[in-house]
Structure 1
Amino acid sequence: MNYKFIVSLFYLLLFVSQHSVFAANSSMNKKQSTPDSLKIIKKQIGAFTKKKEYANAIQYSKKLLQAAKTKSDTSTIDNAYWRQAFYFDKLNQLDSSYFYYDKSYTYNLALKDTVVAGDRLLGMANIQKSLGDYTGAMITAIDGLNYLENTEELETTIGLYQTIAVAQKELGHPEEALRWNTKAFNILKNNPKAEILPSSIHIITITRANILAEKKEYSASIHILDSIAQETADKNLFEFSRAICNMGHFKWLEEANNLESETLLLESLRIRTSLNSASGLFSSYIHLAEFYFDTKKAKALRYAQQAYTYAEKLKNPVASLEALDLILPLKRDLRQAISNEAITYSQLQNQLEKSRQTIRAIYAATKYDNDALEKENLKLLTQVAIKEKQKILALAAAVFLLGVIGFVIYYKNHQKQKEQLEISYKTELRLSKKLHDELGNDIFYLMTQVQQDTPTPTDTKNALILNGLDSIYQRVRDISKEFTAIDTGKNFGKEFFALLNSYSSASTKLITKELPLSFWDDIAPKTKIELYRVLQELLVNMKKHSEATFVAITCVKNAKEILIKYVDNGIGFDKNEKISGNGLKNVENRIASIKGSINFESKPKEGVTVTLTFAI
């Protein structure tokens, strides 16, 4: 019993221990399979960078890229591409560096981040320049400017201008080089508060000096370099040594026997040796080899070989070829064997051309893809533009059609109004003629008959009848006169003045001023008729109702309108009852028909003031 229990307990413990080990291993494997965080990987890359362990930095950048893709972190994906481009550049593996710059460039184009795309093109252009592919560098840099010009990315824009300027100088176009260099300086001039690195300013300044030297304007070039040397003497030995090295070289080009040239070149070499600057030492050795090339060939060869050594350290085939271009003729002049150098020269030429071709192929493929994408986008934009244009044309047609309809309605209404006025005028004339010719004549005939039948004119009853008939006859003549045709031509002024004066009598004094005939020249016939009728109606109203003893009418004209003022000293009326109680509604309608305005000012027993205004 006890034995069985002990055995069972043993197996139970064994099972639990094995399960725990399996769980622990599973947990460890799971932990190991968990991707490192992006932050930790970046920290590791930073540590490698400080130690200049660029190969390790590249490996961890690849790791960063995979982790970023897993997490779909777009900014880190781009950063990983850029890091690989940067570290390969540091290792002088320019083909690989260019490849990853291109990866970052195309990735940012897909994200439509054209600013970063332009910056990556600067890195690509600088690699092409380093490989001596100046035409390719210039084309790439100009593409970069298409993304960056007129943006706030001033440092990168200056870098692109600088690359183009150097490429133009190396291609033998100093005037074009100077033009692009001036563009870079204009950015500095127009943006004095922009945060541009001093090193960038020194680079474009020295480039200007180099371009001027290429144009054989040595004095101007040396003056620029001297200014930089004075500025950096106690602040930046790297920039100072570069300035005096170039200055020594240009002084020698200007005058081969210039003793100061040798002093400046040797001083620059001393400083660069203390700084252990490989690129600077290469430049100093090359210029010293050139300086001694014709006078001290053995010394020149030693400096050329030193330059070649540093070119190899830099892994720069262009620099190596530049050194070999001096070594080979110097060895030939000194009767030394040149077979090894010649073989190396040929190999470097092949290697350099291969790198150039590889990079051109990378960019050509990318350019083709991007151009195809751009064409597709342009096609879509064209289709959108066509649709927008069709919408605009449809809208314009609709607006035009509505305008035509509106004009037709307006024209019809205007014609209808005109016809109504003509009918009204014809009716008035017909009534006037009927009153004058028929009713007036009948009354006159009746008066004649009464006079013939009356033996004595003193008969009171007959006298009253005759007076009544005479009064009716005069009123009929007045009504007829009110509706006679109006001359709207040159005689309108005289007719208008006659109308006003016709209402002056012994009991009512009417004052007005005769106007010049030209006063009414630019007034439309319709307006003249309506104005005539309005004044006529006011005067009739005055005669019938106002009991006025004094009436004044004035007419004033300016460039835009005519103002007519009527004033009487009659009994006046209540303004609230003027339309319905005084029959002046017709006056307002007539003024409205000529788009004028009328204003009544009146109080009982205080007379009437009427102001008429209408546009010319």
Structure 2
Amino acid sequence: MKLIKDIPLSPSLVQTTDSLELIKKQIGGYAKKKDYKNAIILSKKLLQRAQQQLDSNYISNAHWRQGYYFKKMDLLDSAYFYYDKSYAINLKLKDSIAAGDRLMDMANIQKSLGDYNGGMITATEGLKYLEGSMEVESISGLYQTISVCQKELGHYDEALRWSNKIFDLLKKHSTANITMANLYVLKNTRANILALLEKYPKSFDILKSIAQDTQNSDPTQYARAICNLGHYKWMQNPNNPESESLLLNSLQIRQDLNTATGLISSNVHLAEYYFETNKSKALDYAAQALDNSIKINNSVAILESLDLLLPLKKALGQDVSDEAILYSKVQNNLEKTKQTVRAIYAATKYDNDNLEKKNLTLLAQVAIKEKQNILALSTALILMILIVFVIYFKNQQKKRERLETAYKTELRLSKKLHDELGNDIFYLMTQLQKENPNITDTQDTQILEGLDHIYKRVRDISKEYTAIDTGKNYGKEFFTLLNSYGNHKTKIITKELPPDFWEDVTAEAKIEIYRVLQELLVNMKKHSQATLVAISCSKNQKQLSIKYVDNGVGFSKKEHHLGNGLKNAENRMKGIKGNITLDSKPNKGVTAIITFAM
């Protein structure tokens, strides 16, 4: 992913006598006309002039402006790069408010890329600079980012907890300067979370209130409110007579406004509404959602549209090869952008953290002079931490020993099944055939077939628990596992990983990940009837994530109870302090996200 960092300065825009303030005004003029390219060019000029004058405040402002205008142009990796530059300078200036604001900008980019765990981490770091200040709008913005990320990850109770923090904060600071547009966004998000928690009456009350307030004053907010209201009324009761008219009314308003993001939302919800009852109509709306997603180059929206379009085309007997290729391409591009963003942050985090530590050291020195007893307190605290660390280390050691014992037990049982039980069954089959080589008796035939069936099952179980190479060949063995479940009926889409991807992962974690993926693929093969399975892996310094998506028959989360296999998968992830979340709806496939700390 190439960052757009160097847009040449046009001679007509460069005047050596221009002051920094005058350049800012010129930038504002271009921004009002939505001429973001020239706004970026002048922002670079502002940066050059500020660097010549050693004016750190204007340097930071110039970086922020470039990030802001690149974001307006949907060049998110470049936007993130300049926000990060501005954040680093804010740290040097000890401007905690601006530093927190830049982290909020960066977290929102990660959120829009679908990197919800990364977005939460960045937003939480932003709260370190802002919580306790009077910057209510910025704090609520960070709370909102975390709430949305938790919602998208399926952690609805956590999402509601962060939403509660927003409204508790607004209640405490009732005079805070929050725009009505932002307030409606916060309320909409809260209504969405309540509906996902099946607290429909509370959700409907919020959405109806927004619709009533904005019907004659703000068509954008009104369309969003009635679209969500129609969608969640349908979720509560697919036969609700109001749902269709609310969704269609919202679409008409958004068509008049010609807002691509709004049109995507309306078309997606209408495709879901008609998915079971009128697949042709649902396909038309899914196609419109895809067209608008491509128009604004929103990878997450493209994938969401394709998640609807692919099974609809399949159900209608239409070719899905082009869309499947697009899905893979967009998924890969989205992952590359995420990796670029993570690399930007990782490349500067060390310097930024060191700068933070220096600032904290200076403050600590002042505090030590004022309170000599801090030394004794620090010593006691270190001893407590050391004790906790020793206890933690011992517990981890015990867990590793338990995992190792379990793994050895699996291998021992596998060998015993293969070498002893399997061979004994095979011997019985041989003896039965030897004693009666021309078996015609129905009962004897059934016994022989039954023994053969048991023998094959024993061999299959033994194969599932063979030793796993956790060394340099693990990556090849991992992809061999994934690809072994593909055939002419089921296509497995994977992405090539860097050679050193698994280097920092422990042997225990490699084994558990392998077994969990194996369990998901076995379940897919047995139950899902999927024709397309996409598996992607990503990691940062703190966490490794694996996303599994198929387009199979899915299941209802209300009626579904995890079988032994998936329960074992959950227990395996808990054993390495990881997590597996499953999300599915009937006929909409299964999504599983596996995460664990590095």
TM-score interval for Structure 1 and Structure 2 normalised by the shorter chain: 0.5 to 0.7
Q: Does 1:46 align with 2:28?
A: yes
CA shift digits 1:20-53 (9 cap, x unpaired): xxxxxxxxx9x98735332442333223222212
Deviation larger for 85-94 or 51-60:
51-60
Check the 8 A contact 1:162/1:181 in 2, yes or no. yes
Q: Structure 2 counterpart of 1:50, which letter?
A: K
TM alignment of 1:345-356, pairs within 5 A: 345-356=327-338
Q: Structure 2 counterpart of 1:293, which letter?
A: F
2:308 to 294, 308, 326: 326
Q: Per-residue deviation at 1:201?
A: 1.1
TM-score normalised over the length of structure 1: 0.57
CA shift digits 1:275-328 (9 cap, x unpaired): 111111111011001111111111111111111111112221001110011111
Check the 8 A contact 1:118/1:147 in 2, yes or no. yes
Check the 8 A contact 1:35/1:67 in 2, yes or no. no
Residues 32, 271 of structure 1: alpha-carbon distance in 2 compared, 3 angstrom cutoff: closer
How many equivalent pairs are there? 364
Q: Does 1:218 align with 2:187?
A: no
Q: Does 1:81 align with 2:63?
A: yes
Check the 8 A contact 2:87/2:102 in 1, yes or no. yes
Q: Structure 2 counterpart of 1:255, which letter?
A: N
Structure 2 unpaired stretches of 5+: 1-10, 376-598
Taking only aligned residues, the RMSD between alpha carbons, in angstroms, comes to 2.2
Q: Name 1:526's counterpart in structure 2.
A: none
- Percent identity of equivalent pairs: 60
CA shift digits 1:189-231 (9 cap, x unpaired): 1111222111121111111111111111122211210111111
Q: Does 1:256 align with 2:238?
A: yes
Q: Name 1:63's counterpart in structure 2.
A: 45
Q: Per-residue deviation at 1:335?
A: 1.4
Residues 69, 222 of structure 1: alpha-carbon distance in 2 compared, 3 angstrom cutoff: same
Residues 392, 250 of structure 1: alpha-carbon distance in 2 compared, 3 angstrom cutoff: closer
Check the 8 A contact 2:27/2:39 in 1, yes or no. yes
Q: Name 2:577's counterpart in structure 1.
A: none
Residues 367, 257 of structure 1: alpha-carbon distance in 2 compared, 3 angstrom cutoff: same
Q: Does 1:235 align with 2:217?
A: yes
TM alignment of 1:399-410, pairs within 5 A: none
1:371 to 339, 353, 370: 353
Check the 8 A contact 1:62/1:84 in 2, yes or no. yes
Q: Name 1:314's counterpart in structure 2.
A: 296
Q: Structure 2 counterpart of 1:125, which letter?
A: A
2:143 to 161, 170, 194: 161
CA shift digits 1:328-387 (9 cap, x unpaired): 111111111211111111111111111111111222233322222333444555566556
Check the 8 A contact 1:165/1:177 in 2, yes or no. yes
Q: Structure 2 counterpart of 1:162, which letter?
A: Q
Higher relative contact order structure (alpha carbons within 8 Å, sequence separation ≥ 6): 2
Deviation larger for 41-50 or 381-390:
381-390
1:126 to 105, 108, 116: 108
CA shift digits 1:141-180 (9 cap, x unpaired): 1111110111111111110010011111111111111111
Q: Name 1:138's counterpart in structure 2.
A: 120
How far apart, in 2, do the equivalents of 1:217 and 1:198 lie? 25
Q: Structure 1 counterpart of 2:151, which letter?
A: K
How far apart, in 2, do the equivalents of 1:191 and 1:228 lie? 21
How far apart, in 1, do the equivalents of 2:225 and 2:24 lie? 37
Q: Name 1:170's counterpart in structure 2.
A: 152
Check the 8 A contact 2:56/2:89 in 1, yes or no. no
2:276 to 277, 283, 294: 294
For 1:332, what is the secondary structure of its paired residue?
A: helix
CA shift digits 1:399-441 (9 cap, x unpaired): xxxxxxxxxxxxxxxxxxxxxxxxxxxxxxxxxxxxxxxxxxx
Q: Does 1:280 align with 2:262?
A: yes
Q: Name 1:105's counterpart in structure 2.
A: 87
Q: Name 2:177's counterpart in structure 1.
A: 195
CA shift digits 1:534-571 (9 cap, x unpaired): xxxxxxxxxxxxxxxxxxxxxxxxxxxxxxxxxxxxxx
2:186 to 204, 207, 225: 204
Q: Does 1:116 align with 2:88?
A: no
Residues 379, 215 of structure 1: alpha-carbon distance in 2 compared, 3 angstrom cutoff: same
TM alignment of 1:482-497, pairs within 5 A: none
How far apart, in 2, do the equivalents of 1:63 and 1:348 lie? 35
Q: Per-residue deviation at 1:74?
A: 2.5
TM-score normalised over the length of structure 2: 0.58
How far apart, in 1, do the equivalents of 2:207 and 2:330 lie? 33
Residues 34, 377 of structure 1: alpha-carbon distance in 2 compared, 3 angstrom cutoff: closer
How far apart, in 2, do the equivalents of 1:387 and 1:44 lie? 49
Q: Structure 1 counterpart of 2:228, which letter?
A: N
How far apart, in 2, do the equivalents of 1:218 and 1:155 lie? 28
Q: Does 1:341 align with 2:328?
A: no
Residues 376, 244 of structure 1: alpha-carbon distance in 2 compared, 3 angstrom cutoff: same
Check the 8 A contact 2:100/2:127 in 1, yes or no. yes
Check the 8 A contact 2:92/2:355 in 1, yes or no. no
How far apart, in 1, do the equivalents of 2:294 and 2:101 lie? 29
Q: Name 2:487's counterpart in structure 1.
A: none
Residues 383, 112 of structure 1: alpha-carbon distance in 2 compared, 3 angstrom cutoff: closer
Residues 381, 61 of structure 1: alpha-carbon distance in 2 compared, 3 angstrom cutoff: closer
Residues 33, 387 of structure 1: alpha-carbon distance in 2 compared, 3 angstrom cutoff: same
For 1:235, what is the secondary structure of its paired residue?
A: coil
Q: Name 1:586's counterpart in structure 2.
A: none
Q: Name 1:266's counterpart in structure 2.
A: 248
Residues 65, 222 of structure 1: alpha-carbon distance in 2 compared, 3 angstrom cutoff: same
Check the 8 A contact 2:91/2:356 in 1, yes or no. no
Residues 176, 66 of structure 1: alpha-carbon distance in 2 compared, 3 angstrom cutoff: same
Q: Structure 2 counterpart of 1:95, which letter?
A: D
How far apart, in 2, do the equivalents of 1:382 and 1:238 lie? 50
For 2:74, what is the secondary structure of its paired residue?
A: coil
How far apart, in 1, do the equivalents of 2:24 and 2:370 lie? 49
Check the 8 A contact 2:90/2:99 in 1, yes or no. yes
Check the 8 A contact 1:78/1:107 in 2, yes or no. yes
